[in-house]
Amino acid sequence: MKYARIVGTGSYLPVNVVSNDELSRRVDTSDEWIRSRTGIRQRHIAEPAQTSSDLAYQASLQALAAAGIAATDLDLIIVATSTPDFIFPSTACLLQAKLGAKRCPAFDVQAVCSGFVYGLDIADKYIRSGMYRRVLVVGAEVFSRILDWNDRGTCVLFGDGAGAVVLAADDKPGLLASVLHADGSQFGILSTPGQVCGGKVTGDPFLRMDGQAVFKLAVRVLDEVARETLALCNLQPADVDWLIPHQANVRILDATAKRLGIATDKVIVTVDRHANTSAASVPLALDVAVRDGRIKPGHKVLLEGVGGGFTWGAALVEM
Ligand code: ACO
């Protein structure tokens, strides 16, 4: 049986770092409020000319270098993003062109903050079926473009960035199990309900959120889908070496770990430095912990996404 194994990780954060204090000069907020409610200290914000495919490109170069694989050897490119460069072509096609990886299929996945976990699940299916051997999965976002910078309830929560992994077919275990879910009836609690129509933006082009409803739903489904994924492998939460939930809010991470009975020192946290980078948050956190040596070969890592749609999912990976 062939597994899909993560053979390289990479990430990229724009150089411009915006602190809570800087935000408090733009909107009626404070470092104390943001830290105590979310754990966020700062976020990275892309330059006006930087797009999701630019961030994805930098993260992908790192992941390919770590994997020792040339872009031209890729069989498939998947980009998870809700802030694509254009309506079309897809950000994945633009990334493919930047990487010089001609001919392999490339497409975007739109599952908001769960997009990377959705992408992993899809890549796994292609590799296990024997159809493809090397797949690049990227989460890349410039959420700063869809924030209402006058809305203190949302603009303090998000940042820009990208994370990438290369998956390769291997006889050694890699992705052990993954589970995806969605509940479209919950679309109203987190959305950017705008569109381009007749040459104009219609509806509301900014991110809108019912924070408390999102909080409650996120904590419940992150617990449920973690257990569902582990059960497929006859494992318990205690068998996990590292938990990487979507980095939305440190209180969501703490509550999820508590419900699962996982010690907080086994949870990778980057939301304090990156804020919520949506589809990029999980691969960014994974890359940080691989590069700083916490995640080692053989470790079992449970990756979890949750976000607009509503969507959620988990993937258990042996590194
Ligand atoms: N600074 C200061 N005050 C603020 C700010 C701010 N940035 N934002 C809201 N407030 C005020 C509100 O106006 C309100 O004031 P009022 O009592 O005078 O009306 C007060 O703070 C409390 O507001 P709530 O919305 O009730 O605050 P809450 O404790 O729920 O915290 C938060 C808000 C942090 C958004 C919380 O609901 C949350 O973490 N929700 C999860 C949402 C999340 O993480 N979303 C990310 C996207 S979703 C995802 O990635 C899965």
Q: Quick one: tokens of 275? A: 């804020």
Residue-level pLDDT at 61: 98
Inform me whether the pLDDT recorded for 169 exceeds 90.
Answer: yes
Closest CA to 292 of 220, 231, 242: 242
Closest CA to 138 of 64, 88, 73: 64
CATH code of domain 176-318: 3.40.47.10
CA 57 to ligand 1 centroid distance, Å? 33
Calculate the dihedral angle through the C-alpha atoms of 157, 149, 20, 46, rounding to the nearest 10 degrees: 80
Provide the sign of the torsion angle of the four alpha carbons 249, 6, 127, 57, taken in this order.
Answer: positive
Residues with CB under 6 A from ligand 1: 29, 33-34, 37-38, 113, 152-153, 156-157, 190, 209, 211-212, 214-215, 218, 246, 248-249, 252, 276, 306-307
pLDDT tens sequence across 129-163: 999 999 999 999 999 999 999 999 999 999 999 99
246 among known catalytic residues: yes
Written as one string, the DSSP assignment of 274-318 is H-B-GGGHHHHHHHHHHHTTSS-TT-EEEEEEEETTTEEEEEEEE
Task: Name the band, by pLDDT with cuts 50, 70 and 90, for residue 1.
Answer: low
CA 33 to ligand 1 centroid distance, Å? 9
Residue-level pLDDT at 2: 85
Closest CA to 216 of 192, 177, 190, 242: 190
Inform me whether the pLDDT recorded for 178 exceeds 60.
Answer: yes
Say which of 20, 93, 246, 274 is annotated catalytic. 246
249 among known catalytic residues: no
Say which of 44, 104, 249, 276 is annotated catalytic. 276
Q: Which strands sit side by side in the sheet containing 242-245, from one edge to the other?
A: 175-182, 311-318, 300-307, 242-245
Burial annotation 86-108 (CB, 10 A radius, 16+ → b, else e): eeebbbbbbbbebbebeebebbb
Mutation test residue for ligand 1: of 22, 155, 210, 212, the one with most atoms within 8 Å of CB: 212
Residue-level pLDDT at 118: 98
Mean pLDDT of the chain: 97
pLDDT tens sequence across 211-220: 999 999 999 9
Residue-level pLDDT at 102: 86
CA 249 to ligand 1 centroid distance, Å? 11
CATH 3.40.47.10 in the chain is located at 3-172, 176-318
Sequence letter at residue 294: R
CATH code of domain 3-172: 3.40.47.10
Asked whether the beta carbons of 9 and 33 are under 8 A apart, the reply is no
Element of type H or E holding 134: strand 134-142
Task: Name the band, by pLDDT with cuts 50, 70 and 90, for residue 11.
Answer: very high
Say which of 113, 155, 249, 274 is annotated catalytic. 113
Cα–chain-centroid distance for residue 292? 19
